[in-house]
A and B are shown apart, each in its own frame.
Chain A
């Protein structure tokens, strides 16, 4: 407890040092504010943006897209992962195509989706789905392959049906790996959405990034980056929270804090 408090204090001190360096550092080494604006002017810009540039609205749009992309991508990744894991022959038939799609850089699909669906939220969510899908599917598939065959035999010896083996053994055994996939997916969803917004549209933090860049407003770019990071943190923490509820049976130290 003592130790934890001291480490917390060290962490807070580090933040103070970082903010001080950001505030006075650039001027001290002669970097002009339009290249690296001090933290106070970023804060000022943020306050200005809350009035005129509807920063909360854009943040909400991006957050909504991230949530939709993450949830849909996760559901899709889980479904495909479990179906392929249950059916090795399907996996054999599909694996070369899945591999190809996995190697393709997902963000490169963003312009295509914009062409298809216009400047709406749809292409952003689609990029997020595509990018979130793979780590989750791959983790689920790997976990199903790694289930101890003796556990399955144990269930079989009790005359378990295929469905019972799945729900009582395989599904539960895949949970730790599923959550590792979800953690990765939560951060990737933000990337997918931002790339979608950078490519086209007039809403969301990605749009503000491009707008700030065009206007030479460096502080606005910083505000957008910080808001995006906060969205990512919220998504990640939500996954970690859910993970703690579901994996409560694991000894504390076997999964990392963050």
Chain B
């Protein structure tokens, strides 16, 4: 394995007790490495601390134990290496799509022409160029998520942290966006940590899948997806061995015995 671009080393995050709730350990002693250009999915029951790992990776929170590294440097605050995308598109309603895409560049003080050039390229690449001057409320859910992806890519991070980015979309839109995301990731050789609870999505998009246990979340299994077409999920889903991988994940998650919990 090459030098990891994203690494969690024995990471634990415990949330202190408050008046309303006792102390909670969201994740415990999690170690994982994501190599340069690799896409790794993280699956597990709801409330197993997947999103906590993402927050820690983005430097928005600090672990109570262990360390996170991005681009070889310890993550202690938000940094240039990492950008995240959530299920919520987080588009600012008062900005046009273009201005939303440029948000990160603007905050980081990129000059106007650089911003313009990069947003032009990304709007085209994410196929929302026609909506550049529209406001978010005029866009469909799929279009909004494309804009969110463009905004995430605009700051040119080495690592993308994706937290169920497509889970609020209808099945068809979802597949189209998966296809676009997979192509973008492959084209730019981006590294990604992809949180999902859609097992087929995990298999279709990633090089490896990590399975987490119930809270406190630990990594209980690692599955290497040895299938072609990582840059074309629709083709990959049709691969004869894809079904077996999904079945295997269902078994390791012990789906039938999971408690039904609110996400």
Residues of A within 8 A of B (CB): 148, 150-151, 153-160, 164, 168-169, 172, 175, 249-251
> Given contacts A157-B82, A157-B84, are A250 and B103 in contact (CB under 8 A)?
no
- Chain A contacts for B155, CB-based, 8 A: 158
The closest CB in chain A to the CB of B86 belongs to A150
Question: How near does chain A come to B72, taking the closest CB pair, in angstroms?
Answer: 18
- Chain B contacts for A160, CB-based, 8 A: 107
Q: Determine the main DSSP class of A at the interface with B.
A: helix
Cβ contact within 8 Å between A175 and B107: no
- Chain A contacts for B55, CB-based, 8 A: 153
Residues of B within 8 A of A (CB): 55, 58-60, 77-80, 82-84, 86, 88, 90, 92-95, 103-104, 106-108, 135, 137-138, 155
Cβ contact within 8 Å between B93 and A168: no
- Chain A contacts for B108, CB-based, 8 A: 158-159
Interface contacts beyond A249-B93, A249-B95: sample of 14 additional A-B pairs, CB < 8 Å, sorted by A: A148-B88, A151-B92, A154-B103, A156-B60, A157-B59, A157-B60, A158-B103, A159-B77, A159-B78, A160-B107, A168-B106, A172-B94, A175-B94, A250-B137
Bound form: Cα–Cα A203–B121 in Å: 64
- Chain B contacts for A249, CB-based, 8 A: 93-95, 135, 137
- Chain A contacts for B93, CB-based, 8 A: 249-250
Bound form: Cα–Cα A158–B92 in Å: 14
Question: How near does chain B come to A173, taking the closest CB pair, in angstroms?
Answer: 8
- Chain A contacts for B137, CB-based, 8 A: 249-251
> Given contacts A175-B94, A249-B135, are A159 and B88 in contact (CB under 8 A)?
no
Bound form: Cα–Cα A250–B137 in Å: 7
Bound form: Cα–Cα A207–B92 in Å: 49
> Given contacts A150-B88, A156-B60, A157-B84, are A168 and B78 in contact (CB under 8 A)?
no
CB-CB nearest 6 A-B residue pairs: A158-B104, A158-B107, A160-B107, A249-B135, A157-B78, A249-B94
- Chain B contacts for A159, CB-based, 8 A: 77-80, 107-108
Output the residue of B55, B84, B94, B155 with the most chain A CB within 10 A. Answer: B94
Cβ contact within 8 Å between A169 and B92: yes
- Chain B contacts for A164, CB-based, 8 A: 107
Bound form: Cα–Cα A7–B58 in Å: 55
Question: How near does chain B come to A201, taking the closest CB pair, in angstroms?
Answer: 43
Bound form: Cα–Cα A164–B77 in Å: 17
Question: How near does chain B come to A250, taking the closest CB pair, in angstroms?
Answer: 7
> Given contacts A168-B103, A251-B137, are A151 and B90 in contact (CB under 8 A)?
yes
Bound form: Cα–Cα A226–B90 in Å: 47
Bound form: Cα–Cα A153–B90 in Å: 10
- Chain B contacts for A150, CB-based, 8 A: 86, 88, 90
Bound form: Cα–Cα A78–B241 in Å: 62
Bound form: Cα–Cα A157–B159 in Å: 13
- Chain B contacts for A158, CB-based, 8 A: 78, 83, 103-104, 107-108, 155
Bound form: Cα–Cα A157–B107 in Å: 10
- Chain A contacts for B59, CB-based, 8 A: 157
- Chain A contacts for B107, CB-based, 8 A: 155, 158-160, 164, 168
Question: How near does chain B come to A155, taking the closest CB pair, in angstroms?
Answer: 6
- Chain B contacts for A156, CB-based, 8 A: 60, 78
The closest CB in chain A to the CB of B58 belongs to A157
Bound form: Cα–Cα A20–B125 in Å: 66
Output the residue of A156, A158, A172, A249 with the most chain B CB within 10 A. Answer: A158
Cβ contact within 8 Å between A157 and B83: yes
Question: How near does chain B come to A18, taking the closest CB pair, in angstroms?
Answer: 39
Bound form: Cα–Cα A238–B162 in Å: 45
The closest CB in chain B to the CB of A254 belongs to B137
- Chain B contacts for A172, CB-based, 8 A: 92, 94
The closest CB in chain A to the CB of B80 belongs to A159
Bound form: Cα–Cα A169–B58 in Å: 19
